Every structure is written in C-alpha cells, then in structure tokens.
Amino acid sequence: MKLYGDWLEKFLSRNKDKRMQHPAGLVYGLDGQASFSASFGLALQHLAVQSVYFVLPAAAGAAVSNDPAEITRFLCLSILAAALWQTLQVLTRGPIGSGYPIPGTHTAAMLGAYMLTGHAGGGFAAIGAMVCVAGVASTALTFLMQRLRALIPNEVAGVVVILIGVALVGLATQQLGLQTGGTPTGEQGVIVMFSSLTVMVVVALSRTKASPFSVLIGSVSGVILALLLGEVPPNAAAVLAQSPWVALPRPYLPDFTAISPAPMAAFLLALVAMKATAAGSIVVVQRAADAGWTRPDAPPLRRGLLANGLAIIGAGLIGGAAPGPATAAVGLSIATGTLARRIVWCGVPLLVVLALCPKLVSLFVLTPAAVKAAMLFYVAGFIMAQGCQLTTVRLLDTRRTLVIAFGLSAGLMVAVAPLAFLKVLPAIASPLSFGAVVAFLANLLTLPLVAQKAEQSLPLDAFAGRAASDWFALIAGAWGLKPQTTRSVEHALSELSELLMGRGISSVTLTARRAEDRVEVGLSWEGEALPERAATVRPEDLIGPLEVQERFAVWMATREAQSFTQRRTAQGAEARLIFED
C-alpha cells in the first residue's frame, strides 16, 4: 500500500513541476495580481466567449426533448458542471488540477453521442449515466497512460482542436438550416448572421476597451436586428415569462439501466478527442506562460487530465453535459497576455450565478438561430488557429505529417458526407470523433516505426569527451532531434566519459535509442558503477573527498536528464539516461 502511495505521489506531485520563466510581453502571469475591476472585466470577457459553447448542450437537449423548460434545466446543470471543471483545473494545491487558468465550458466531442442517445429514445437520465461512465473511464486512463505525450502528442491534440472548429462550423450551418436537422432561416436570417458577425469583427479590431467584448456586443446587435426583422422563435415571450429569475436546477439523476450500446460506444470513443482537447489546451497555456518552454511539463498535464475526468463524473452525477476547456477563451487570454489565475477564479461565481438564473439561460436558448450561427463562425476561427499552432510545435517529419493528414482527412470526410457514416458507423459519425480516432490510431500504430538505435565503442583517452559529443551530434542530425536535447546529451556524454577516464577505465560502449518523444542513452564499461548523483550540491564539493567530487560530477552530467539509472552486469556496469525531446 505504501508503494502505491509513493507512486501516486510521484505521479501527481507538484514538487516535480518545472519552474517557469515570466515572458516579457505578458501583462498578467499565472500569479499576476490583477485588480478586482480588471479581473471582473476579463472574467466577463471569458464568459462572453464561454457562452458561445452553450449552444452545444442546448443542441443536445433539443435532440432529447422539445420542451424549452427541460432544455433550459439541462443547460443550467451543464453550466454548473463547467464551473466545477474550471474550479478543479485552476487548483494550485493537492493532486488535482494543472494550476493553469483555463476557463471551462462544454465540449463538442460528445455532441454525436448526445444525438445518438436522443435517436435511441434515451432521456437526460440516460445521458447522465453515460457521461458518468465516460468520466470514470477518462479518470482511469489518466493513470493507465503513463506516457501521455507519446500516445496523445501535439500533432493529435492539434488535429482534435482543428476538428472542434470544423464541428462548430457544421453546427453553425445547421443553425442556418443548411444541413439536415436545421430549420431554414431564409434571407432575413442570413442578413442577421452576417450583420452580427461583422459587428464582432469590427469591435474586435477596434483596439478599444470594448474589444474584449466583441462577441457579446455583436450578439446583442444581432438579436436587436432579428427582433426588428421578426426572426424570433415562436412562443418566445411565453417561455421567457415562465422562467424564474432564480431557481436551483433539479438534477437529472443518472439512470444506469437506460444505457444503450451504440450511444455508450460513442461516449467512450469520444474520450480520445476529449483527452486530446484537454491536453492540447493545457500545453497551449503552458507554452504561453513560460518563456523557457521547450516541451510539455508532464506533472501538471497529468493533474489537469485527472481534474478533467473528475469534472466529467460530476457532470454525469447531476445530469449535465460533459464539460471541457474553452479553447477560444484560452486563445483570447493568450492574445491579450492575461493569464492570471485570479481572473479564472473570478469567473467561477459568474458561471454559478448564471446557472441559478433560468431566465438569463432561457434568453440564450431563445436566441435567434442566425445569431448563434454568427457566434459559432466567429469562435471556430480562433479554435482552428490554435489547432494549427499546436500541430506545428515540433518539426514535422513524414510520420507526423501523415498523422495530421489522416486525422484531418478523416474528420473532413465525415463533415462532407455525414449521412453515409451515420448508416455505417453511427457511434463515431462526427468529424471530431472519427478524425480523433483515426489520428490517435495512426500515431499509435506508427510509433514502432520511428524507433532508431545506434552504438559506438569509444576508447577513453584525452579526446574521449569530444569524440562522444561528435558521435551524438551526427546521430542527432540524422534523427532530427531538438537542439536543446542534443546539447543536453552531448554534455552528459562528455562529462561521464571524462569521469570514467579519471577512474582508469580504458573504453566505454555508447548506445542511443530514439523513440517518439524521448532519447535513451546508455553507457557500459568494465568496472564499478558510478556513485549515485548528489541530491544537493555545494561549490565546496569540488575540493572535497573523491567520492563527493564524483557525486558532484554525476549530478553535473545528468542534471538535465529526465531519469538516470545504473545496474551491474556480468561485464561490469551500465548506466542509462532518458531525455525528453
């Protein structure tokens, strides 16, 4: 039991987090002390963008029920679930939460699963049960997937983020009645949509204090124009009058007996897209908040994915839609340089207040379809831009390019011909789900093809350190490794070769093996193993006893390695170092 506890602590420990460097152009860093007025205003900006995603649970609710009151209730519960997601994600203590300011909202990954549930005759209680099961599976996968970066690399996460934008574009066209399931809006609806979208763009580019609220201002102007043109949902006034100002939404208790095979399969398959979306958002914020960023920091990523899974379980227990990161809000935070946690904390009570006010939520449910379409078109562009940035974080070799190409092609194929996939593969008949699964499998199945190995026997003489560095420099060039990875390995090989030579070792055998996300370097020699590296070092160690000097030298050589291990062999000893690339 103690061993398991030690492993769990190491797996989620905050002590292993990389120390961040504050970027020069950032207005508010993670610990930035923004004033209350600034935090509140920026939190409202987040809420304006987060509200765009409310169309997802609203559309899911409409697939299950035609009752606006029931749809509003489902949406209120879903907003509470988003507040829970946001709270868990920004925590800075304990084993849960990345500690990054990522606003929460609703994910498009499960939209196809909600629709399937409605077609199968399931209700909100069935959705809650399947969301709960999906959350348990997501939480379990966080612990089972030891090397998340290899299974869900930036390329897969980027494909998923791009396809979220594609899915929102598809949903926007459905709102305009251009696809099956939508009600045609006519010429007046198109006028409303383009007018609202134009206002959003103009306000966003105005560089005024109103710029952060471009979506909200454009939406209000679109609603006013729709009212003038008569583009109002039927019985809107009656539905609004019946909605109370304040009410605690009654949960839809999950009914596990109502789980259906096809929708449940769709929920579980959507986990690939959901985990990739969450991982991508965490990495995007990580990169923006750290001037010294070179690769994803694993511990915050694990804690963030754990928070993601627990929040999904919470959503299922109260009967709401599965929450996830608001990728467009993340993009706006990065664009404005405002990454303070205080802003996101300020946004949590705003979401709760909104969820407890059915009349405000009803206003969104009754928002003209053309205005919703404009909001979706606007945000889709931000999301796809973030996805493009994620896919190009690393150098794109042939394999990575193929992963992106297959994933995007598969997603766009479903977007172009959705009815054909609904007949053959209803469980993943959405651009996001199918594209994410294809990208994930393409990455997983081609991982063994990138493993490369090199070996060299090196005499330990006065030129050994330089020879070891030159040997690995040639390998790094052939394998396309990052410059920082190459420098770290060269330094380690040079220092360890000189240390072994000082012990009187005549030769050493060097090996290098490249996997997708890391490089393993080995040294084997005839003789005793090296001492363990020092936990802490002091300048006076350089003139201390020989063993203290060697421990200091081992620390110097291996301080940039992810891990350093040794073992005895029949011929002598062997050391292995692992570097992330």
User: Tens of pLDDT along 446-504?
Assistant: 877 766 788 888 888 888 888 888 888 888 877 777 788 888 888 888 888 888 888 88
Q: Is the pLDDT at 180 greater than 70, yes or no?
A: no
Q: Do 388 and 458 reside in the same domain of the chain?
A: no
Which of 169-183, 285-299, 368-382, 523-537 has the weakest average pLDDT? 169-183
Q: Which residues of 436-450 are buried (b: 16+ CB within 10 A; e: fewer)?
A: bbbbbbbbeebbeee
**Strand 507-514's sheet: what is its strand order?**
452-459, 507-514, 518-525, 573-580, 563-568
Domain that holds residue 302: 2-20+30-393
CA distance 72 to 66: 11
At 292, is the pLDDT very low, low, confident or very high (cuts 50, 70, 90)?
confident
Q: Are residues 355 and 481 in the same domain?
A: no
Least confident of 94-103, 118-127, 273-282, 317-326: 273-282
Residue 9 confidence (pLDDT): 62
Same domain, 198 and 117: yes
Query: In this structure, is residue 407 part of a structural domain?
Result: no
395 CB neighbour count, 10 Å cutoff: 9
Give me the pLDDT at residue 2, please.
47
Quick check: is 438 in a domain? no
Q: Residue 384: what pLDDT?
A: 84
Average pLDDT estimate for 100-127: 86
pLDDT of residue 8: 61
Whether 4 shows a pLDDT value over 50: the answer reads no
Task: Say what the pLDDT of residue 81 is.
Answer: 96
Q: Is residue 412 part of a domain?
A: no
Between 233 and 19, whose confidence is greater?
Answer: 19
Instruction: Check pLDDT > 90 for residue 323.
Output: yes
pLDDT reading at 558 higher than 60: yes
Specify which of 146-160, 297-311, 559-573 reaches the highest per-range mean pLDDT.
297-311
Q: What is the pLDDT of residue 1?
A: 47
Domain count, the chain: 2
Q: Which residues contact 234 (CB under 8 A, 6 or more apart)?
A: none
Residue 315 has a pLDDT of 96
Q: Which has the higher per-residue pLDDT, 138 or 219?
A: 138
145 three-state secondary structure = coil
User: Residue 455's beta-bridge partner residues?
Assistant: 511
Regarding whether 361 and 456 lie in a shared domain, the answer is no
What's the whole-number mean pLDDT along residues 196-204? Answer: 88
Q: How far apart are CA 459 and CA 54, in angstroms?
A: 66
- Give mean pLDDT, residues 302-329: 92
Q: Per-residue pLDDT for 197 more than 80?
A: yes
**What's the pLDDT at 147?**
60
Domain boundary among 378, 393, 408: 393
Same domain, 43 and 114: yes
Q: Residue 376's closest CA among 215, 229, 224, 159?
A: 215
Domain end (from 393, 412, 428): 393
Same domain, yes or no: 323 and 216: yes
Could you give the residue ranges of the DSSP H alpha helices within 290-368?
298-318, 327-336, 341-355, 358-365
The reply to whether 126 and 208 lie within a common domain is yes
Asked whether residue 514 carries a pLDDT value surpassing 90, the answer given is no
Q: Sign of dihedral through CA atoms 252, 257, 261, 262?
A: negative
Q: Is 399 within the bounds of a domain?
A: no
Residue 6 has pLDDT above 60, yes or no: no
Residue 400 lies in a domain: no
Tell me which of 323, 358, 393 is where a domain ends: 393
**Predicted pLDDT of residue 3:** 43
Which CATH number does the domain housing residue 498 bear? 3.30.565.10
Instruction: Identify whether residues 377 and 497 lie together within a single domain.
Output: no
What pLDDT does 373 receive?
84
Q: Cβ distance 200 to 183 under 8 Å? A: no
Across residues 548-564, what is the average pLDDT?
A: 83
Between 11 and 225, where is the model more confident? 225
Looking at residue 277, what is its pLDDT? 79
Between 171 and 30, the more confident residue is 30
Higher pLDDT, 295 or 133: 133
Residue 374 has pLDDT above 80, yes or no: yes
Helix residue ranges, H only, 65-103? 68-90
Residues 383 and 469 in one domain: no
User: Is residue 456 located within the same domain as residue 389?
Assistant: no
Res 150 pLDDT > 70: no
pLDDT greater at residue 537 or residue 207: 207
Taking all residues of the chain, what is their mean pLDDT, rounded to a whole number?
Answer: 83
- Is residue 374 one of the residues assigned to a domain? yes
Phi, psi of 417 (to 5 degrees): -130, 65
Q: Is residue 219 part of a domain?
A: yes
Distance CA 259, CA 123 (A): 10
pLDDT at 158 over 60: yes
Find out whether 507 and 457 touch, Cβ atoms under 8 Å.
yes
What pLDDT score does 135 carry? 94
In the prediction, which pLDDT does 527 show?
Answer: 85
pLDDT surpassing 80 at residue 415: yes
Q: So what's the pLDDT on residue 117?
A: 87
* Domain co-membership, 387 together with 484: no
Q: What are phi and psi of 394, to 5 degrees?
A: -105, 160
Residue 253, in any domain of the structure: yes
Confidence class of residue 356 from pLDDT cuts 50, 70 and 90?
very high
Q: What is the mean pLDDT of residues 389-416?
A: 84
Q: Based on the domain organization, do 357 and 471 belong to the same domain?
A: no
